[in-house]
């Protein structure tokens, strides 16, 4: 295992210094164990962790990660109001309700999702569609802010000056 500084993260889980080190350890664990172990970035720090009991969507803390996972699992579309009420337990009009709308707009702006161009019969709420499977999976793994930072970094490095 590769440790950086402290052996545990503020979330009390073993931490890995890089995505590569965590992925290498996950591959070793997958050869020994039955549940599929994956690496993910901690939302409270820059550390990487391994899933202890395989991937569980309920363990995702941020709305962006949960929404991206739901899009990957249901590429035909996710009804935003249903997602907010059932998955996140939010009440209509509450502050988190509006925040989830902003999160959906950020996913659309990044190209990971798109709004459905047509409203299906009986639908009264916006439906989000999966636009880029690879981007959505990466958002589930490292989080929305880290994905934005990761995708903007090459543009900054290539800029003259």
What is the chain's Cα-based Rg? Answer: 18
Measure the CA–CA gap between 146 and 143, rounded to whole angstroms.
Answer: 6
Report the predicted TM-score, pTM, of the whole model to 2 decimal places. 0.65
Do 124 and 86 belong together in one domain? Answer: yes
Do 36 and 84 belong together in one domain? Answer: no
Do 107 and 41 belong together in one domain? Answer: no
- State the pLDDT at residue 121: 67
- State the pLDDT at residue 138: 86
pLDDT digits (tens, 9 = 90+) for 31-68: 666 666 777 777 767 788 777 665 666 667 788 888 88
Do 9 and 47 belong together in one domain? Answer: yes
pLDDT digits (tens, 9 = 90+) for 68-127: 888 888 888 888 888 887 877 777 777 777 788 888 888 888 888 888 877 666 666 678
Output the CA angle 106-114-99, nearest 5 degrees. Answer: 35
Measure the CA–CA gap between 35 and 148, rounded to whole angstroms.
Answer: 30
The answer to whether the CB of 11 falls within 8 A of the CB of 27 is no
Domain that holds residue 80: 58-157
Do 33 and 101 belong together in one domain? Answer: no
Q: How confident is the model at residue 3 (pLDDT cuts 50, 70, 90)?
A: very low
Measure the CA–CA gap between 115 and 128, rounded to whole angstroms.
Answer: 5
Do 3 and 46 belong together in one domain? Answer: yes
Do 89 and 29 belong together in one domain? Answer: no
- Number of domains forming the structure of the chain: 2
Phi and psi angles of residue 127, each rounded to the nearest 5 degrees, phi first: -115, 130
Do 43 and 90 belong together in one domain? Answer: no
Tokens 């900054």 sit on residue: 156
Domain ends where: 12, 29, 55?
A: 55
Helix, strand, coil fractions of the chain, as percent rounded to 5: 50, 10, 40
- Nearest CA-CA partner of 136 in 127, 147, 145: 147
Do 11 and 25 belong together in one domain? Answer: yes
Domain ends where: 13, 40, 55?
A: 55
The answer to whether the CB of 49 falls within 8 A of the CB of 40 is yes
Query: The tokens of 4 are what?
Result: 């950086």
Do 36 and 6 belong together in one domain? Answer: yes
**What CATH number does residue 66 fall under?**
1.10.10.10
């Amino acid at each position: 295992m590769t440790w950086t500084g402290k052996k545990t993260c503020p979330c009390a889980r073993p931490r890995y210094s890089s995505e590569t080190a965590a992925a290498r350890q996950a591959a070793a664990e997958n050869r020994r164990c039955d549940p599929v172990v994956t690496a993910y970035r901690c939302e409270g720090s820059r550390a990487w962790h391994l899933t202890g009991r395989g991937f569980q969507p309920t363990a995702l803390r941020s709305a962006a990660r949960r929404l991206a996972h739901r899009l990957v699992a249901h590429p035909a579309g996710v009804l935003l109001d249903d997602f907010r009420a059932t998955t996140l337990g939010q009440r209509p009009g509450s502050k988190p309700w509006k925040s989830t709308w902003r999160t959906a707009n950020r996913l659309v702006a990044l190209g990971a999702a798109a709004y459905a161009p047509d409203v299906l019969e009986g639908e009264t709420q916006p439906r989000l569609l999966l636009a880029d499977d690879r981007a959505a999976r990466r958002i589930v793994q490292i989080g929305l802010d880290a994905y934005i930072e990761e995708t903007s970094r090459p543009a900054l490095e290539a800029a003259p000056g």
